[in-house]
Amino acid sequence: MPENIKTIAGKLTTMQPKGRASSELYNSLNKRWKDTCKVLFLQEVGEIDAFLDWFTELNEPIIHRKSGVSGKDVAFAIDQYSEGSKWIGLEEIDYGKKFEPVGINDLKDIDSLVEAIGERIYYTGNVVLGNSDFVESSSNINDSFFMYETGRLGDCKYIAYSTLGRLCETCFGCNGIGESAYCLRCYETFRDKRCLELWMSQNCADCYYSFGLNNCSHCMFCFNLKDKSYAIGNLALGREKYAKISAKLLGEMAQELQRAKRLPSLPQIAIKSKDHSKELAKLLATKLQSARPEKLDRQPIEDAWMETAGIVLGKKLGGGIDAYSKWLSRHTRKTEKHKSAISGKEIFRWDYASYFQLPPKRLVTMEEAAAIGESVSISESEAEKFSFACAHDFLGKIAYFNPEYREGTNTNTIESPTCTRSSNAYRSTPVVYSKYCGYTFWPRSCECQFGCGAMFDSKFCINCYQSVKLTRCFECDSCRDCSDSLFLHNCENVNNSMFCFNAKNLSYAIGNAALSPDRFRAAKKSLLGQLSSELEKSKDLKADIYNIGARR
């Protein structure tokens, strides 16, 4: 997500093809890797490049293309761009280049327009912004240092083979990390330190192979706990006893890493565990007495969808938002509906921060997860016999996963499993400080977002992605401070414009060339009429911001 659009031309290190980083970066990251191993395992386990497959197996890949300008390697953190498009590195863009205005005969439809401006359409990778250095084979990075094979990270340093995060240091093979340090293969973390295979947890330290922890420290193989320390298998132990068992387990992990160059993931271990859901349902029956369900109403969201379509497309679209679900979901994250292993209640999860790795037959609701964490643990004799190789034999009663959370007050959030202080959301997640969103992934401080992905501080947008501060926009990607525009890519401060790529400070422009306001308005009105007509007829559009580069 771009935080500021100022390029750092001349400061970017040469982007390397996938493989080993340049020597200075490699040596710095390798040293941090060894330091991390000493912290986590009390010993080194080998050089960093022996573990590359393990680091990346659960993360979103960095895509490598060849620049159409220089032939150099270009890294992309977004994999939606269509094959057959042209690629360019951010450092290669000439923002001052002038283009001829589009002819009137080329404005009759999208295909004619794309054909006319085809040579101007490049998708941009190597996006490294702000005060950054020693960044290689990475994209969508800002204000960060010593980064390799990373994507969508900001204000970070010493990170490799990781995706999605902010304000982190010394992390390897992670996905969805925030304000975390010395973490290895951790997923959806916030303010966690010195952790291995910690999933969906906050404010934790020195935790291993655990899920759903909050404000915990020195925990191993624990699930759905709050405010606990020195625990194994949800069983709290004295400090000395914990130290003895944990030292044994850490030695076993280090030995396996040295041998196999990988460890199993927490879900892989849990899948092998015996199912205890029927026993848990009986055991927790009194704790899980049904609360009165919140009254949910889709109508406010439907009204917002109609209003947004009228503002953005010039026409309110009939048929209800679900009629356009396939189109609105085309470039957002996949979602799945499951049933609780304990109660059969519906559970929704999204393909974000490796949530899809969680075993479907071990999913439970938030209330059920909390009850398990409060009530169920392994026995003391089991703790004494616990071994890493046979961990699955001890975890059957506790290894259940909740892919949902609610923070603060949330109202009328429908099929939206992860929300923070939001309202009127439908089939969207994580919804943070936002309202009136549908079929949208990660709106933060937003209003009226539909079919969007990773949008910050924006309002009245349809099918816009990876952008900040957009208003009344349609099919825009990787943009900032734009308004009343459609089909933009990598643009800043572009207003009342269409089909602009890699541009700044434009108004009334088509294909990066300004027109008179009257001519632009006429062309926009005609094009919006065509788009609305196609949507009403088929509930879909052939063209989108990710495929027009390959439509020539």
Selected residue with higher pLDDT from 405 and 221: 221
Q: Residue 28, Cβ neighbours under 10 Å: how many?
A: 17
Those residues whose C-beta lies under 8 Å from the C-beta of residue 547, and which sit 6 or more positions away, are 82
Q: pLDDT digits over 276-305, tens only?
A: 999 999 998 888 876 677 899 999 999 999
Give the per-residue pLDDT at 19. Answer: 53
DSSP for 447-477, please give it: EEEES-EEEES-EEEES-EEEEEEEEEEEEE
> Which ranges constitute the DSSP H helices of 293-435?
299-313, 325-328, 366-375, 380-385
Separation of alpha carbons 1 and 139, rounded Å: 10
Q: Does 518 fall in a domain?
A: yes
> Which ranges constitute the DSSP H helices of 219-365?
239-260, 266-271, 277-283, 299-313, 325-328
| Contact (CB, 8 A) for 3 and 129 | yes
| Contact (CB, 8 A) for 220 and 208 | yes
Tokens of 409: 């007050």
Tokens of 370: 């909390």
Separation of first and last alpha carbons in the chain:
28
Q: Residue 238, Cβ neighbours under 10 Å: how many?
A: 9
Domain of 428, in residue numbers: 299-334+406-550
| Contact (CB, 8 A) for 378 and 398 | yes
Residue written as token pair 């199993």: 264
Is it the case that residue 68 has pLDDT exceeding 70? Answer: yes
Tokens of 224: 């759905």
Tokens of 89: 């590195």
Q: Does 215 fall in a domain?
A: no
Q: pLDDT digits over 476-534, tens only?
A: 999 999 999 999 999 999 999 999 999 999 999 999 999 999 999 999 999 999 999 99
Q: Does 433 fall in a domain?
A: yes
Span of 54-63, 103-112, 143-152, 508-517 with lowest mean pLDDT = 103-112
Q: Residue 15, Cβ neighbours under 10 Å: how many?
A: 23
Q: pLDDT digits over 338-391, tens only?
A: 999 999 999 999 999 999 999 999 999 999 999 999 999 999 999 999 999 999
| Contact (CB, 8 A) for 223 and 234 | yes
Is it the case that residue 15 has pLDDT exceeding 50? Answer: no
Q: Find residue 175's DSSP bridge partners.
A: 163, 187
Give the per-residue pLDDT at 334. Answer: 92
246 to 290, 384, 421: CA distances (angstroms): 38, 10, 38
Q: What is the dihedral of CA 542, 544, 550, 552, to 10 degrees?
A: 70
Q: pLDDT digits over 208-259, tens only?
A: 999 999 999 999 999 999 999 999 999 999 999 999 999 999 999 999 999 9
Give the per-residue pLDDT at 286. Answer: 83
Tell me the average pLDDT across 136-151: 97
Separation of alpha carbons 131 and 326, rounded Å: 39
Q: Does 259 fall in a domain?
A: no
CA angle (408, 411, 412) in 5-degree steps: 145
Give the per-residue pLDDT at 294. Answer: 83
As to burial, measured by CB atoms within 10 angstroms (0-12 exposed, 13-18 middle, 19+ buried), residue 493 is middle
Tokens of 482: 């734009």
Give the per-residue pLDDT at 285. Answer: 86
| Contact (CB, 8 A) for 70 and 535 | no
Q: What radius of gyration, in Å, describes the C-alpha atoms of the chain?
A: 25
Q: Does 124 fall in a domain?
A: no
| Strand 465-477 to 480-483 pairing | parallel
Give the per-residue pLDDT at 552. Answer: 61
Q: Does 488 fall in a domain?
A: yes
* Collapsed DSSP state (helix, strand, coil) of residue 40: helix
**pLDDT bracket for residue 16 (50, 70, 90):** very low
> Which ranges constitute the DSSP H helices of 89-229?
110-117
> Which ranges constitute the DSSP H helices of 138-238?
none
Separation of alpha carbons 83 and 144, rounded Å: 30
**pLDDT bracket for residue 107 (50, 70, 90):** confident
Tell me the average pLDDT across 22-50: 97
Q: Does 134 fall in a domain?
A: no
Q: Residue 508, Cβ neighbours under 10 Å: how many?
A: 20
Q: pLDDT digits over 182-199, tens only?
A: 999 999 999 999 999 999
Give the per-residue pLDDT at 14. Answer: 31
Tell me what percent of the residues of the chain surpass a pLDDT of 90: 91
Separation of alpha carbons 468 and 484, rounded Å: 14
Number of domains comprising the chain: 1
Q: Does 238 fall in a domain?
A: no
Give the per-residue pLDDT at 20. Answer: 64
Give the per-residue pLDDT at 287. Answer: 81
